């Protein structure tokens, strides 16, 4: 588990940015499909029940997941691909979600009301199918919604950087030196983004809201989400005083203060990937996670409550 200097990620230059675009397509598609299958098994009465998010029903949360997939379809629409200006990184996109929170909630509630006749199950399945079809058409890559991604957690392609210019599959638009090595620039709710960067944000949303619905994430999707949230933490709290470890996926140096160079770091926070995602997303209180051992924090600078939640 390589420890990364958090200051290098202050503008969202992320370690997963060079992952093959086909890998990200497969990871996101597989995680979406997990949610579709779990939602399909819910009884009708479940959709009107409150979700774990205050003010959201289960149906509204399902509609939000559907909207996340719809955003990919819209980003890949022919009329939406010609954009100018510098691309937004995945870290910068997630950093702006708070400002869009109310609009996001309003959209989900409106969708939940408008599709009452067809139901959230079929709407979610249709939006995920459309997004996966758009991704497969544009990249020439399968989304893993049929037979699975075939990506092992320990495989280099599950998240390890690839050589610049590595082929992105038949017909893939990945280009050496392209935006974050993530393919063409597309239009997103957060601004123009490299397609690979946008898919990393879709992985975070699918993992977070899958957990909200009680759905265990796939390990490849959890890895992408944990690494991106660690990058966001490093951008939000730059420095070298604390070593934040999220085994087995990543470790970053964060928080302003004395730099640690050798031996045992004086300030260490270690947390598993699922509770790390939950703490970052505001689903798990820092003090509760520390109290029950899901977060292990040592050192006078290891209290990270002041930067949470990230999303």
For the segment 288-308, what is each residue's pLDDT rounded down to a tens digit? 999 999 999 999 999 999 999
Q: Say whether pLDDT at 24 is over 60.
A: yes
Of 201, 218, 235, the one marking the end of a domain is: 218
pLDDT tens-digit map of 56-80: 899 999 999 999 999 999 999 976 6
Structure confidence at residue 99 as a pLDDT band (50, 70, 90) = low
Please check whether residues 181 and 209 belong to one and the same domain. Answer: yes
Answer yes or no: pTM beyond 0.75: yes
Residue 55: what pLDDT? 86
Picking from 218, 236, 253, the residue at the C-terminal end of a domain is 218
212 and 228 fall within a common domain: no
Same domain, 87 and 202: yes
With 0-12 / 13-18 / 19 or more C-beta atoms within 10 angstroms meaning exposed / middle / buried, residue 71 is: buried
Judge contact between 203 and 24, C-beta under 8 A. yes
Domain annotation covers residue 115: yes
Are 275 and 295 members of one domain? yes
pLDDT confidence of 85, banded at 50, 70, 90? low
Higher pLDDT, 309 or 148: 309
Distance CA 128, CA 140 (A): 17
Domain coverage including residue 285? 224-307
Same domain, 266 and 124: no
Same domain, 194 and 230: no
Q: How far apart are CA 78 and CA 3, in angstroms?
A: 40
Instruction: Report the pLDDT averaged over residues 126-152.
Output: 75
* Mean pLDDT, residues 92-115 taken together: 66
| Predicted pLDDT at 153 | 37
Residues 121 and 193 in one domain: yes
Q: How far apart are CA 218 and CA 107, in angstroms?
A: 27
Domain match, 207 and 80 both: yes
Take residue 142 and report the two structure tokens written for it: 């399968």
- pLDDT per position as a tens digit, 144-202: 664 333 333 333 333 332 222 222 332 333 333 333 346 789 999 888 999 999 999 99
Asked, for residue 90, whether it belongs to a domain, the answer is yes
| Residues 144 and 236 reside in one and the same domain | no
| Residues 250-298 pLDDT 10s | 999 999 987 766 667 889 999 999 999 999 999 999 999 999 999 999 9
- Distance between CA 139 and CA 44 in Å, rounded? 36
User: Residue 41 falls within a domain, yes or no?
Assistant: yes
| pLDDT reading at 203 higher than 60 | yes
pLDDT of 204 higher than 80: yes
> What local confidence, expressed as pLDDT, does residue 141 receive?
76
Indicate the pairing of strand 3-5 with strand 250-254. Answer: parallel
**Residue 4 domain-assigned?**
no
**26 in Cβ contact with 149 (< 8 Å):** yes
Residue 42 contacts residue 121 (beta carbons within 8 Å): yes
Q: Tell me: do 119 and 84 sit in the same domain.
A: yes
* Within a domain: 8: no
The pLDDT tens digits of the residues spanning 229-245 come to: 999 999 999 999 999 99
What is the structure's pLDDT at 97?
73
Does a structural domain hold residue 5?
Answer: no
**Residue 98: pLDDT band with limits 50, 70, 90:** low
pLDDT for 155: 35
pLDDT value for 93: 92
Say which CATH number the domain at 41 has: 1.20.120.450
**3-class secondary structure per residue, the chain:** CCEEEHHHHCCCCCHHHHCCHHHHHHHHHHHHHHHHHHHHCCCHHHHHCECCCCCCEHHHHHHHHHHHHHHHHHHCCHHHCCCCCCCCCHHHHHHCCHHHHHHHHHHHHHHHHHCCCCCHHHHHHHHHHHHHHHHHHHHCCCCCCCCCCCCCCCCHHHCCCCCCCCCCCCCCCCCCCCHHHCCCEEEECCEEEEHHHHHHHHHHHHHHHHHHCCCCCCHHHHHHHHHHHHHHHHHHCCCCCEEEEECCCEEEEECCCCCCCCCCCCCEEEECHHHHHHHHCCCCCHHHHHHCCCEEEECCCCCCHHHCCCC
Q: Does any domain span residue 169?
A: no
Per-residue pLDDT for 10 more than 70?
Answer: no
Within a domain: 269: yes
Q: Are residues 45 and 111 in the same domain?
A: yes
CATH number at residue 235: 3.30.1050.40
Does 241 share its domain with 115? no
Q: What is the mean pLDDT of residues 99-112?
A: 59
Token pair in block for residue 77: 């629409």
The pLDDT of residue 183 is 78
- How many domains would you assign to the chain? 2
């Amino acid at each position: 588990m390589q420890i990364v200097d958090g200051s290098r990620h202050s503008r969202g230059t992320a370690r997963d940015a060079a992952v093959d675009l086909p890998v990200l397509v497969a990871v996101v598609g597989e995680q979406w499909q997990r949610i579709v299958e779990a939602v399909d098994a819910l009884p009708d009465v479940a959709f009107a029940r409150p979700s774990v998010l205050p003010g959201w029903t289960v149906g509204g949360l399902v509609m939000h997941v559907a909207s996340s997939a719809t955003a990919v379809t819209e980003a890949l629409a022919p009329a939406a691909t010609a954009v100018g200006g510098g691309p937004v990184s995945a870290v910068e996109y997630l950093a702006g979600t708070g400002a869009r929170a109310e609009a996001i909630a309003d959209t989900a509630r409106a969708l939940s009301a408008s599709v009452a006749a067809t139901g959230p199950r079929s709407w979610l399945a249709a939006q995920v199918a459309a997004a996966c079809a758009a991704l497969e058409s544009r990249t020439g890559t399968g989304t893993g919604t049929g037979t699975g991604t075939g990506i092992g957690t320990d495989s280099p392609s599950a998240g390890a950087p690839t050589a610049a210019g590595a082929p992105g599959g038949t017909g893939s638009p990945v280009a050496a030196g392209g935006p974050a090595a993530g393919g063409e620039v597309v239009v997103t709710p957060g601004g123009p983004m490299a397609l690979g960067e946008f898919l990393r944000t879709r992985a975070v949303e699918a993992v977070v809201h899958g957990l909200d619905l009680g759905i265990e994430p796939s390990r490849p999707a959890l890895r992408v989400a944990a690494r991106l949230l660690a990058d966001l933490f490093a951008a939000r709290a730059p420095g070298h005083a604390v070593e934040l470890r999220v085994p087995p996926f990543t470790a970053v140096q964060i928080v302003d203060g004395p730099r640690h160079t050798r031996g045992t770091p004086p300030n260490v926070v270690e947390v598993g990937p699922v509770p790390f995602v939950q703490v970052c997303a505001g689903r798990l209180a820092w003090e509760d996670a520390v109290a029950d051992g899901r977060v292990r924090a040592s050192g006078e600078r290891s209290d990270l409550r002041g930067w949470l939640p990230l999303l």
